[in-house]
Chain A
Amino acid sequence: MSARRPVSSSIAWAAAAALAALAPAAPAPVAPGAALPPLAAAGLDGTLPDTAGKVVLLDFWASWCAPCKASFPVYAQLDAAYRSRGLVIVAVSVDESAPAYASFVARQRPPFATLRDARQRLVAAVQVPTMPTSYLVDRAGRVRFVHPGFHGAPTERELRREIEALLGEGAPAP
């Protein structure tokens, strides 16, 4: 019995190697249940608010994204309604252009924290599926809900229901 390996087998191994080389190496997208990458270590431009023990709405936006513009007035309403109960909204811009970012913020005048991920490190680590995408994080720092896109009233209704639920969970055990 010959132990000769068929030529197609060798080609198959070469195929596996070639396909592995072609596969893009990207981290897995952050999903519900995962821990959020540490914001303080992300090198964001701007002042990060205190998020310890708070429910965090982390929103990724850009000045060139029309739904992001529509989302800001809604986030302002959520901020007014829930800030006193422990909600912190952190809006992270992925704008590479500082003037575009500054112009958007000057026009919108958001009452919540806006920061800029100028080097797009955080957004690449989170792997947002579309622009905008928001992540609702519970008081223990776990992502609980992900909202790809902003779809107006339906998104606002979902956010309110989920924020109410997370705020009702109370503070995590020390």
Chain B
Amino acid sequence: MRRGLHLVLAVAALGAAGALLCGCSTAAAVRVRPWQRAALADETMNPDRDPVGSAMIEHVYFSREAASGGQGVGGSGCGCN
């Protein structure tokens, strides 16, 4: 039982060490807090700032490829509410 626990913790240690070594430490992988999302909420972060142009490109795409959808959702990234 103890051996199993040690094994689990050892695996966790290797994972944590890997995260530290690859730069995913607290300094590098900080969670963006709700009040820090001004830049994410900016309109320039919206991947679809020209909806008419995007609709035309999508129309051309699915007409040529006989495919539709897969364009994701709109909006930028403030994550409000």
Binding site for B on A (CB under 8 A): 6, 8-9, 11-12, 14-16, 18-19, 21-24, 60, 62, 64-68, 94-97, 100, 120, 123-124, 128-133, 149-151
Contacts and interface: CB of A to CB of B under 8 A. Distances in A.
Interface residues of B, number: 29
A95 to B, nearest CB: 7
> Which 6 A-B residue pairings sit nearest by Cβ, starting from the closest?
A15-B13, A12-B9, A18-B16, A8-B6, A149-B81, A11-B10
Contacts of A62: 35, 38, 41
A16 B35 contact: no
A28 to B, nearest CB: 14
A131 B40 CA distance: 13
Interface string B1-43: 0010111011011101101100001100011011111100110
A159 B79 CA distance: 23
A133 B35 CA distance: 10
B26 A66 contact: no
Given A18-B17, A131-B37, A65 B6 contact: no
Counting chain A CB atoms within 10 Å of each CB, the highest count among B34, B41, B78 belongs to B34
Given A18-B17, A64-B38, A8 B80 contact: no
Nearest to B6: A8
Contacts of A128: 34-35
Contacts of A11: 6, 9-10, 13-14
Interface of B: 3, 5-7, 9-10, 12-14, 16-17, 19-20, 25-26, 30-31, 33-38, 41-42, 78-81
Contacts of A96: 38
A124 B36 CA distance: 10
Given A21-B20, A22-B25, A15 B35 contact: no
A163 B6 CA distance: 53
A131 B34 contact: yes
B6 A9 contact: yes
Contacts of A150: 81
17 contacts: A6-B3, A12-B9, A15-B14, A18-B12, A18-B16, A18-B20, A21-B16, A22-B19, A62-B35, A62-B41, A64-B41, A124-B35, A131-B35, A131-B37, A149-B81, A150-B81, A151-B81
